[in-house]
Amino acid sequence: MIRVDGVAKRFTVRTAGRARLRRSAMTEVQAVRDVSFTARDGVITGLLGPNGAGKTTTLRMLAGLIEPDAGRLVVDGIDVHESPRAAVARLGVLSDARGLYPRLTARENIVYYGALHGMSRDAAHARAEQLAAMLDLRSLLERRTDGFSQGERMKTALARALVHDPPNIVLDEPTNGLDVIATRALRESLRALRGDAAAGKCILFSTHIMQEVERLCDRVVVVADGRTVADGTVGDLLKRTDTEDFEDAFVALAYGAAAGDASTPVLSSDA
Amino acid sequence: MRDALVVWRKELVDALRDRRTLLMVLVSSVLLGPAVLVAVSSLVATLESTAERREVVVAGIDAAPTLRNFLERQAYHVRPAPLDYEAQLRRSVLPDPVVVVPADFESALRRGDSPVVEVVSDASNRRAQAGAARVERLLRGFSRERTVLTLALRGVSVEVLDPLQVESRDLASAQSRAAQFTGMLPFFVLMAVIYGALHAALDTTAGERERGSLEPLLMNPAARWSIVAGKWGAVACVSVLIAILSSISFLPAQWLLRSDTLQAMFRYGPREALLFVVLLIPFAAALSAVLMAVAIRSRTFKEAQASSTVVVLAASLVPLAVVLNPGAESPWQLWVPALAQNVLMTRVLRGEALTWEPIVVPLVGCALLSVLAIAYVARSLRSAALK
């Protein structure tokens, strides 16, 4: 289970400006203002938001790469700020950057991460086989990743993120650059991972594509302009915005909130 | 510690699989040194053979039978100069200086008019230039013989000419004399270490950023210092491997030495090769760390190559400080990485015994530099992953 509680993050960035020779000025950008949600075990939670809403920053804070300015992030009861390594051990993250080592085979890429997670070589190899079967990677396993297609890269990176069989899976825009078939295959894999309620995993993925959310997510968290603006099932959100089409609902929620004042109460079905 | 080993193993495999780069490093750094050494030896061999040939090239010898008589008594063979000797000297085709005798040589000599004899050579023609001193000495001998004869006829003692006797005594051992020629050896070995470390250091830092594999790597529960330590160990190992190959490559090179004198003077055996490697290990480690620290700031491999040029230049030019400023070694030189290794390797080549102090001082210097650079890399790793 992943719990995100009122996190905020501000970055200082350099402005290009008109400064040609002078050192360019620094400005502050509030990437995340107030994001809160809970992703439960055995549930696929979608983090939906327009570009620049703060999704990637939130997920990076979850993985301990960025310290939040405010708020808490908790993975299976472990505070990310207090013990980041213990928290990361319980996460499988497929981040925005999913570079592989081109001179290593797919198997070596996967086993390397297994070893970094403290697995024995045998266990890591066994797990690589298992994941290859699940993600339809077997024919690629002994090939160097140099000439892999986008979809093959994504699958390898996903297998690498899941090598330690994490109870929580976080995916940042996993369908970016994938064709229909690869997207479908990924969806199947995610359903299989959520699968049986007993070993049900907590799956959290961010996207800006409506169809992904409609087809796959049990719950949706809508983020806009660094804030959580809605949280519920697709049906809930449709009902609340009084629309038939999910795209309309999303636009109303995301852009309505960004345009409106900050005091708009967060819609939630949790209450 | 286990994580560091995992990272080390993976980075080493990764670096060793990069065959094309390794091949380039091998050709450019490991084979270049011995090749240059062999080339220099063949130059020395020509100089030696000219000296042994006992030949003098003279233009207009027919006008000077007295000079010919003297030269032949010195067991020199007189060879007439080709007509276009000036052009040949300029093009470095003619390896000997040319003595030009004026047409009125004999009559001027008889009159006591000191005829002018030119020794023509070209400063850019190294072989001819080297022979010029020998020929001048020979002509001075002729001149002296004439003087002695003239004075003896008038009953003056020859000692009047030499109120002072000068004798030179060379203290250099065979090895230190050879070090004049083998002085470039440490330079080539240092270059091999630098180029061995360069690619691997850039690939594990800037390359990892460019590929987008640094961010996922940091999402593992491994401590940052152990990731950096593993990477550093792998880069240093590749660099040391190249250093070993480079040091060993001079062993077969000496069989190819064309000059017997040089071969006899050049003492480079397995012991020297081993000492080279021992001296180079701390340098390889420090250099790897510094290159990683420079490269971690760069977003792409290309950018890292540009910024690492400064380090590569510094590391390869610093040893030249000794060349530009010959003289006593100062204690501070041992504290400067690259310079210290150069100084110590030169000592090994000269056959001087190494004591503990000159080994420990560079070791401490390199260790300090490594720790600083590694700490910097570990600190920058997280922010580097995100940009």
DSSP annotation of B60: S
The token pair at B273 is: 């090769």
- Written as six digits, the tokens of B233 are 């160990």
The answer to whether B334 contacts chain A (CB < 8 Å) is no
pLDDT band at B292 (very low <50, low <70, confident <90, very high): very high
User: CA–CA separation, B385 vs B379, rounded Å?
Assistant: 11
- Is A103's CB within 8 Å of B219's CB? no
**How long a stretch of residues is chain A?**
271
Residues B14, A101: C-beta atoms closer than 8 Å: yes
A195–chain B Cβ distance below 8 A for any pair: no
Q: What is the pLDDT of residue B176?
A: 59
Q: Say which residue the tokens 């996993």 belong to.
A: A174
Higher pLDDT, B263 or A54: A54
Among residues B169, B195, B229, the one where a domain terminates is: B169
Statement to judge: residues B333 and B382 lie in one domain: yes
- Domain boundary, last residue among B122, B143, B169: B169
Does residue B350 have a pLDDT over 80? no
Percentage of chain A with pLDDT > 70? 89
Can you say whether residue A211 is alpha, beta or left, with left for phi > 0 and alpha for psi between -120 and 50 degrees? alpha
What is the span of the domain harbouring residue B11? 2-42+175-386
* Residues on chain A touching B208 (C-beta within 8 angstroms): 99
Tokens in use for A132? 């290859």
Phi, psi of A94 (to 5 degrees): -105, 100
pLDDT for B232: 95
Domain with residue B80: its CATH number is 3.40.1710
| Number of domains observed in the structure of chain B | 2
In a domain, B47, yes or no: no
Identify whether residues B344 and B327 lie together within a single domain.
yes
In a domain, B126, yes or no: yes
Give yes or no: residues B151 and B224 share one domain. Answer: no
Domain boundary among B122, B140, B169: B169
What is the reported pLDDT for A24? 66
pLDDT at A271: 35
Q: Is A192 on the interface with B (CB under 8 A)?
A: no
B22 in any annotated domain:
yes
Q: Are residues B199 and B339 in the same domain?
A: yes
- Of chain B, the percentage scoring pLDDT greater than 90 comes to 23
pLDDT of residue A269: 47
B161 and B190 co-located in one domain: no
The number of angstroms, rounded, from the C-alpha of B359 to the middle of its chain's C-alpha atoms is 22
pLDDT at B29: 78
Amino acid letter for position B234: A
pTM of the model: 0.80
Is B185 within the bounds of a domain?
A: yes
Measure the CA–CA gap between B180 and A253, rounded to whole angstroms: 81
Q: What is the mean pLDDT of the segment spanning B128-153? A: 85
- Whether B218 has its CB under 8 Å from any CB of chain A: the answer is yes
Q: Are residues B238 and B112 in the same domain?
A: no
**Residue B266: inside a domain:** yes
Judged by a CB distance cut-off of 8 A, whether residue A98 touches chain B is yes
Long-range contacts of B132-138 (CB under 8 A, 24+ apart): B132/B97, B134/B51, B135/B56, B135/B97, B135/B99, B138/B56, B138/B71, B138/B74, B138/B76
The closest of B342, B346, B336, B300 to B320, measured between CA atoms, is B342
Measured between its terminal Cα atoms, the distance across chain B in Å is 28
A271 exposed, middle or buried (CB, 10 Å; 0-12, 13-18, 19+)?
Answer: exposed
Q: Give the pLDDT score at B150.
A: 84
B294 and B349 housed in the same domain: yes
Considering only the beta carbons, identify the residue of B7, B216, B221 that sits closest to A89.
B221
* Bigger pLDDT: A75 vs A261: A75
B215 and A89: CB-CB below 8 Å? no
Report pLDDT digits (tens) over B176-232: 566 666 677 888 888 889 988 999 999 999 999 999 899 999 999 988 899 999 999
Q: Which of B13, B215, B221 sits opposite A97 (nearest CB)?
A: B215
Residue B359 has pLDDT above 90, yes or no: no
Residues B287 and B215 grouped into a single domain: yes
Q: Round the average pLDDT of chain A to a whole number and report it.
A: 85
DSSP string of B77-101? EEEEPPTTHHHHHHTT---S-EEE-
Pairing of strands A91-94, A267-268: unpaired
The answer, yes or no, to whether residue B312 has pLDDT greater than 80, is: yes
Which pLDDT band, with edges at 50, 70 and 90, does B262 fall under?
low
Q: How far is CA A151 from CA A51, B234, B352, in A?
A: 22, 31, 63
Rounded Cα distance between A146 and A100, Å, is 9
Q: Say if residues B219 and A88 touch (Cβ distance below 8 Å).
A: yes
Residues B191 and B281 in one domain: yes
pLDDT the model gives residue B175: 58
Q: What is the DSSP letter of A202?
A: E
Whether residue B198 is found in the same domain as residue B276: yes
For the segment A241-264, the average pLDDT, to the nearest whole number, is 72
The structure tokens listed for A168 are: 């929580």
| pLDDT tens column, B97-115 | 899 999 888 888 888 888 8
Of B6, B219, B222, nearest to A63 by CB-CB distance is B219
CA distance B219 to chain A (A): 6
Q: pLDDT-derived band of residue A189, with 50, 70 and 90 as boundaries?
A: confident
Angle, alpha carbons A128-A131-A132 (nearest 5°): 80
pLDDT bucket at B339, cuts 50 / 70 / 90: confident
* pLDDT given for residue A73 in this prediction: 94
Taking the alpha carbons of B293, B296, B301, B305 in that order, is the dihedral positive or negative? negative
B156 in the same domain as B258: no
* Nearest alpha-carbon partner for B262 in B177, B144, B152, B164: B177
Q: Is A97 on the interface with B (CB under 8 A)?
A: yes
What's the pLDDT band for B173 if we cut at 50, 70, 90? low
CA-to-CA separations, A255 to A44, A223, B171, B347, in angstroms, rounded = 24, 10, 90, 75
A100 vs B: CB within 8 A: yes
- Per mean pLDDT, which range of B27-36, B261-270, B303-312 is the poorest? B261-270
**pLDDT digits 0-9 by tens, B27-57:** 887 788 788 877 877 777 777 776 677 888 8
Q: Which two tokens stand for residue B64?
A: 């000077």
Mean pLDDT of chain B: 84
Residue A260: pLDDT band (50, 70, 90) is very low
Nearest-by-CA chain A residue for B17? A103
Per CB-CB distance under 8 Å, the chain A contacts of B211 are 99-102
- The reported pLDDT for the residue numbered B282 is 92
What would the pLDDT profile of A67-106 be if each residue is shown by its tens digit? 999 999 999 999 999 999 999 999 999 988 889 999 999 9
Distance of alpha carbon B125 from alpha carbon B131, whole angstroms: 10
3-state DSSP call for residue B27? helix
B13 Cβ under 8 Å from any chain A Cβ: yes
* DSSP-derived secondary structure for A74-126: EETTEETTT-HHHHHHTEEEE-S-----TTSBHHHHHHHHHHHTT--HHHHHH
Asked if the structure places residue B224 within a domain, the reply is yes
Out of A128-142, B173-187, B226-240, B297-311, least confident range: B173-187
Claim to verify: residue B159 and residue B11 sit in the same structural domain = no
Say how many residues make up chain B. Answer: 387
DSSP β-bridge partners for residue A92: A169
| Residue at B48 is within a domain | no
Distance (Å) of CA B52 to CA A148, B46, B142: 67, 10, 20
Of B188-202, B253-267, B309-323, B340-354, the range with the lowest mean pLDDT is B253-267
Q: Which of B349, B357, B350, B359 is nearest to B280 (CA)?
A: B359
Lowest-confidence region among A202-211, A230-239, B251-260, B342-351: B251-260
The predicted pLDDT at position B170 comes to 63
Question: What distance in Å separates the CA atoms of residue A73 and residue A36, rounded to the nearest whole number?
Answer: 9
For the CA atoms of A101, B19, B341, B318, what is the dihedral angle to 10 degrees?
Answer: -80
Mean pLDDT confidence for B315-325: 76
- The one-letter code for the residue type at A218 is D
Q: Check CB contact of A13 with chain B, cutoff 8 Å.
A: no
In a domain, B339, yes or no: yes
- Residues in B closer than 8 angstroms to A96, CB to CB, are 215
From the list A93, A101, A117, the residue facing B213 with the nearest CB is: A101
Share of chain B above pLDDT 70, in %: 91
